[in-house]
Structure 1
Amino acid sequence: MSQPKPVLRLHPAERDDIADLVTRRPVPGRGINNVGAFLFLNHHGPQTYKPGNRGLPFGPHPHRGFETVTFILEGDLAHRDSAGHESIISQGGVQWMTAGSGLVHEEVSPEAFKRNGGPMEILQLWVNLPSKLKMVQPRYVGVQADQIPVVESDGMKLHLVSGDWQGTAGAIESLTGVFMTWLEMKAGSRIAFDALAGRDVFAYVARGEVSINGTAVKGFNLAELGAGDSVELVAGSEAVVLFGHAEPIDEPIVSHGPFVMNTVAEIHEAYADYQAGKFSAPVNVG
């Protein structure tokens, strides 16, 4: 018999704008440092840029020791990195970057978006890597909306980014077996996930209102879940939910700026390697 994971606490995304970019962050926050392997979430927008705008402000910056998963709910996002890979991913698409041993990248608005303006909403999630993979060769995968399987059922669309769902494989194969999706739900629609015992579960309501195992969760809130093996979501209105789960990584987390490692010494080494220009390993492009 399934045991629903109770909602222990709700963590509202706190406003932390970056220049003229509307930004909210539920984790890390005052009441929570991470959700197991899920380390960080920035929710940019929703907002509308005017024509002749400067676009997103994320110029070249380094990462090491984890992965970034970026969901483009509205707008377009251009990616460039130190291995020379470039792409523009549009609304509904996802970028999955494994920083691994080190990569410098930038996430900016395409010239057309800066010229014409338009709506923009982006979620970026940081996912930890175990020590054995922190120095893995970097990788970048960018997928457009039509490359991501969509499972539809009774007013609900499950965009399957990684993992398996009812016999369907996600668009991207995670190095650590992460299941990741974003859900578009109409009022009254529902979905249940099981076999979650011992998994780190990430549930963030980006828009609307959803009941999670009987607890109402409004937009811009992260639900911290307790022990159990199942999660049921029921939409009280039109809603968008970021939902994922991962194997726990029972290792120390030492993070500083753009690096996430296991020890302070490894953080110092990351800064030294970056300053020495070592963050330009070849990227496997999928």
Structure 2
Amino acid sequence: MPAKTVVAQHAAYRDDIGDLVTTRPVPGPDLDQVDPFLFLNHHGPQTYPPNNRGLPFGPHPHRGFETVTFILEGELAHRDSAGHESVIKAGGVQWMTAGSGIVHSEVSPEAFLRDGGPMEILQLWVNLPARLKMTRPRYVGVQADQIPALTADDGRVTVRLISGRWGGREGPIASLTGVFMSVLELKKGGKAGFGSLGGRSVFLYLVRGEVKVNGVAASAQHLVELDLSGDTLEIEASSDAVLLFGHADPIGEPVVAHGPFVMNTRQEILDAIRDYQAGLFENISA
């Protein structure tokens, strides 16, 4: 089977949100999306002092896509207009389908505001096809101990399986569109191999460390862009490393984005703004 080819590497650029250290590899100057993966914010790593203001993401709307949030360090409190509420701790994941429209807040719990501590969070936006953009909103939050941690290469590789199948196991979150999603942890010298990727868009972001992707060196806070046609992928760690690794079938539809809304046409964006302003997303308090 032919190996996937590294097309380019995209460095995350700095775009802080207040005192929240934020970098973003996509969208960027040379890469609009990795269809259907639209957007990635990497918040932190940083340490908050006691009596801090915490995360700044009070109530805000979304429509037409999904947010997948990975809490690497710290804690994240979620509340939304569909009635979901949770506090997800380090190692856990939140997967929210905005669908037809939802308002949610993502803030630091009271204990974190009081005591402070380390914080590192990734948030990935995953597009939905036109047939699902107005689907009913949903939310799934899973803690670290609910995510299978599958080992390979004599324990030098850990695949934290969030959605999809690998190694005979299935992740706890069922994707509406067949997205495979995982967090990879590799010790220096560890190798992880993946197949059956032909025609699939691979999302590969190196959170920290250094690796080789099908023999090509990559360093921390870079997104590795791969071709569609190749079928196999091998990741070898040159140092201890953590990566976000997912793949999915491309949607191949027009993308019209405006702030928190991602639709197929400009008119659908105007409709989303109108519906939100009319209170149809059932606003919530902070």
Taking structure 2 as the reference length, what is the TM-score of the superposition? 0.97
The correspondence for 1:258, drawn from 239, 242, 260, is 260
Residues 31-85 of structure 1: per-residue CA shift (max 9 Å, x gap): 1000010000000000000111000000110000000000000000000111232
The answer as to whether partners of 2:54 and 2:108 remain within 8 angstroms in 1 is yes
Aligned to 2:188: 187
Aligned to 1:229: 231
Aligned to 2:35: 36
Aligned to 2:243: 241
Q: Residue 250 of structure 1: SS of its match in structure 2?
A: coil
Q: Residue 244 of structure 2: SS of its match in structure 1?
A: strand
Aligned to 2:108: 109
Distance 2:94 2:135 in 1: 18
Aligned to 2:9: 10
Distance 2:44 2:204 in 1: 19
Residues 216-252 of structure 1: per-residue CA shift (max 9 Å, x gap): 1100000011131111100110100000000110210
Distance 1:269 1:169 in 2: 37
Q: Offset of 1:280 from its aligned partner? A: 3.3
Aligned to 2:60: 61
Q: Residue 105 of structure 2: SS of its match in structure 1?
A: strand
Aligned to 1:284: none
Superposition misfits of 4+ residues, deviation over 3 angstroms: none
Percent identity among equivalent residues?
A: 66
Q: Residue 269 of structure 1: SS of its match in structure 2?
A: helix
Distance 1:84 1:110 in 2: 18
The correspondence for 1:273, drawn from 256, 272, 275, is 275
Q: Residue 2 of structure 2: SS of its match in structure 1?
A: coil
Q: Residue 171 of structure 1: SS of its match in structure 2?
A: coil
Aligned to 1:171: 172
Look up the equivalent residue of 2:110 and give its one-letter code: E
Aligned to 2:219: 218
Distance 1:18 1:168 in 2: 38
User: RMSD of the alignment, in Å?
Assistant: 0.9
Distance 1:211 1:107 in 2: 34
The answer as to whether partners of 2:261 and 2:272 remain within 8 angstroms in 1 is yes
Distance 2:123 2:40 in 1: 6
Distance 2:38 2:254 in 1: 13
Count, aligned residues: 280
Q: Residue 267 of structure 1: SS of its match in structure 2?
A: helix
The answer as to whether partners of 2:211 and 2:236 remain within 8 angstroms in 1 is yes
Aligned to 2:83: 84
Q: Residue 266 of structure 1: SS of its match in structure 2?
A: helix
Distance 1:167 1:250 in 2: 30
Q: Residue 131 of structure 2: SS of its match in structure 1?
A: helix
Gaps of 5+ in 1: 282-286
Look up the equivalent residue of 1:277 and give its one-letter code: G
Distance 2:211 2:77 in 1: 31
Q: Offset of 1:189 from its aligned partner? A: 0.4
Distance 1:168 1:29 in 2: 34
Distance 2:262 2:268 in 1: 9
Distance 2:143 2:281 in 1: 27
Taking structure 1 as the reference length, what is the TM-score of the superposition? 0.97
